[in-house]
Amino acid sequence: MTKKRVWMLVLISLVFEAHAGSSNAIDNWTNFSQLTGKPEHQKWLQAISDPRAISLAKRWKTLRGFDAYDLLAKHDIPGELKPGLVLNKENVANYPWLKDYLPRDYLNSLKSDTGFVKQITIVPTNTYYMNEGVLKATLAIQGKNLTPTTDDKSTLVNPDGSATLLNDETASAIPYLDPKNGLQLNWSFIAHGVGTETLIFDPMISNSCDAKGSLDVQYKGLIWWQKFHGRQSIEPLGSIDDKDDLIEGGSLYVVSPNDVSGIAAVRQRAALGSKTDDFKIFIPSMRRTRVLSGNDAQDPMYYGLEVTWDDWRAYWAKTDTATFEYKMLADRLILSSPETGYIYRSATMAESQCAWTNMEMELRPVWVLEITDKKGKYQYKKRTIYIDQEMYYAQYQEMSDQRGSPFRSWDDSRSWRPFDGDAQWDHITVHNEFNNRLNIITITPDWDDRGEKVTEEYFDVDQLRDL
C-alpha cells in the first residue's frame, strides 16, 4: 500500500470518527429540512454540520459517555412521535400517549380555544453541549478527582475546603456529570449558569398579557450578566477583581414604558450558603436605592410580570438544605423548545403578541428535579425542573403554590451556537395557570466584544442607573 493511500485512509477515518459524534442529528435534520424546504431549517443543518460543531459534540460525548440519541434509544417511543408531526386542537385527542411527553400546561393550551399555543410542530432532536472552557475545566477536575461536596452551610466545597464556584480551577466545571441525587443535580444546574461567561440582552422585550389574551403592557429593557470566576473564554480571564465571595452577577435596566423607565437592579449570587446575595434596586420614582432580601426576591420584578426575582435567569433561588428538599425523581423524555435562536426563532408570535401560532418542539432526555419548600414560607410549595441530560440546563419548569395547585410554568428557547457551544437566550414563555396571565419575552443577544462592553460599572447599581 502506498504512503499516499495510507494517509488517505487515515484522513477518511478521522472524518468519519468526528462525524460519528453528531451523525444522528445531522442525518435527521437533513431529511427534515428536505421535507419542509424552509430556509431556516437548511441554515440550522449547515450550522450543526460545521466541522467545529461536529468536533466539539464528539468531545462532549466522549466526556459524558453518551449523547441525546444514546438516551433516546433506551426508551420505547411511539412511532407517530417523529419530526414533521403537527399537533393542534383538531388532532391532539388522537394521540393519548402525548400526556407522557408534552408538559401539562402545553397540552391544556392546545386543547383550548383560548390557549397561548395554537400549534406545535415536532422537529428532530439535537445534540447539545457547552463551550470549550467548560469542557476543559470539567476534564481537569475529573482527572484530579476534585469531586465536591455540600457542607453544613449549603455551600459547594472542594476536598481542600475551598468554595467550588469561587476557585478558578473548579468554577467553570460541571461538578457532577452523572448526578446521583437531587442536590448534586441542583449544583450541576447552578454551575451551568447561563451557558456563557458574559451575557448581553440588547434589548429584552416583555409582553405582559391579560387572561383574555390581550396585551396589557410591553416592557423594554437591557440585561447584563457575568460569571466572576474560572473564566476561560471571554476577557477578563480567571477571576473578576473584587468578587472574592460572589459567583455571578446579573443587572437590569428598564428603558420603557415611562412609568418604570430608569429602574436599575443588580443581584450578585453569594457562594456561601450562609451569606445573603448582594441585591439592590434603584427606583427612580422614589429617587433611592433599596437593599432587597431573600424574601423580596419572591416579588414580581415589576407590575404585570409573572417573573419574580428568584425566577430571573430561570432560577436564582439560594441553595439551602434547611429550607428546601432537593429530590431527583426520575429520568424521562419531554417535548420542549429547541435551542435554535442563534440561527432562527423556533416559535411564531400571533398578531396579538400574546400567543404563539406555531411552536417547534423536540424530544429531549431530562432528569426531573423536584425542589420542595420544607417551611411553608416560600412562594412555591414545589418547583419541578426538567434538566437536560446533555446541557445540564432547564428545558422546562413547573411551579405549584403552597396549596399544591398549579401556579406557573416556564419554557425558554436558547440562542445557542453549534460551532462553539456558547449560549444566550432567544425567547421565554411564562404562564400563570391560576389566573391565565401570560408573559412572552423575546430577546436580542449581543455577541460581539462582550469582554469590552460589560465592565464593573454594570454591577454597581448606583453607577448603572447613570449609564
What is the per-residue pLDDT for 23?
A: 75
| Residue 163: strand, helix, or coil | strand
Q: Which runs of E-coded beta strand occur in 182-262?
A: 198-209, 215-227, 246-256
Inside any domain, residue 32? yes
Q: Which stretch of DSSP H or E encloses residue 5? A: helix 3-20
Query: Which of 441, 293, 318 is CA-nearest to residue 383?
Result: 318
Place of cell 461536596: 149
Identify how many contiguous H helices and E strands the chain contains and give both numbers.
10, 18
Tell me what pLDDT residue 22 has.
56
Q: What is the DSSP string of 19-83?
A: HHTTHHHHHHHHHHHHHH--HHHHHHHHHHTSHHHHHHHHHHHHHHS--HHHHHTTS---TT-ST
Q: Is residue 14 part of a domain?
A: yes
- Quick check: is 44 in a domain? yes
Which residues have CB under 8 Å from 138's CB, separation 6+?
Answer: 63, 172, 173, 174, 177
Q: Give the number of domains in the chain.
A: 1
Q: Is 96 inside any structural domain?
A: no
Cell numbers standing for residue 204? 429584552
Does 23 map to a domain? yes
Contacts of 435 (CB under 8 A, 6+ apart): 211
Assigned domain for 304 exists:
no
- Contact between 270 and 246 under an 8 Å Cβ cutoff? The reply is yes
Can you tell me the distance from the alpha carbon of 428 to that of 425, in angstroms, rounded to the nearest whole number? 8
Q: How far apart are CA 98 and CA 85, in angstroms?
A: 12
**236 located within any domain:** no
- Asked if 175 contacts 191 with a C-beta cutoff of 8 angstroms, the reply is yes
Where b means 16+ CB within 10 Å and e means fewer, 95-134 reads beebeebbbebbbbbbeeeebbbbbbbbbbbbbbbbbbbb
- Nearest alpha carbon to residue 249 among 450, 462, 457, 466: 457
Q: Is residue 40 part of a domain?
A: yes
Q: How far is CA 28 from CA 9, 14, 60, 201, in A?
A: 27, 22, 20, 32
Q: Which residue segment(s) compose the domain that 48 sits in?
A: 3-72
Q: How far is 103 from 85, CA to CA, in rounded Å?
A: 17
**pLDDT reported for residue 430:** 97
Question: How high is the pLDDT of residue 294?
Answer: 64
| pLDDT at 5 (0 to 100) | 43
* C-alpha–C-alpha distance, residues 138 and 133, integer Å: 9
Cell digits for 329? 425523581
Residue type, 211: A
* Dist CA 408 CA 3 (whole Å): 64
3-class SS of residue 128: coil
Give the pLDDT of residue 293. Answer: 74
pLDDT tens digits, the chain, 467 residues: what are they?
A: 444 443 333 333 333 333 444 579 999 999 999 999 999 999 999 999 999 999 999 999 999 999 999 999 999 999 999 999 999 999 999 999 999 999 999 999 999 999 999 999 999 999 999 999 999 999 999 878 889 999 999 999 999 999 999 999 999 999 999 999 999 999 999 999 999 999 999 999 999 999 999 999 999 999 999 999 999 999 999 999 999 999 999 999 999 999 999 999 999 999 998 898 999 999 998 888 989 876 568 888 878 899 998 998 889 899 999 999 999 998 999 999 999 999 999 999 999 999 999 999 999 999 999 999 999 999 999 999 999 999 999 999 999 999 999 999 999 999 999 999 999 999 999 999 999 999 999 999 999 999 999 999 999 999 999 87
Global pTM value: 0.93
Stated as kind and residue range, the H or E segment containing 138 is: helix 132-144
CA distances to 102, 219, 393 from 304, rounded to whole Å, are 27, 10, 26
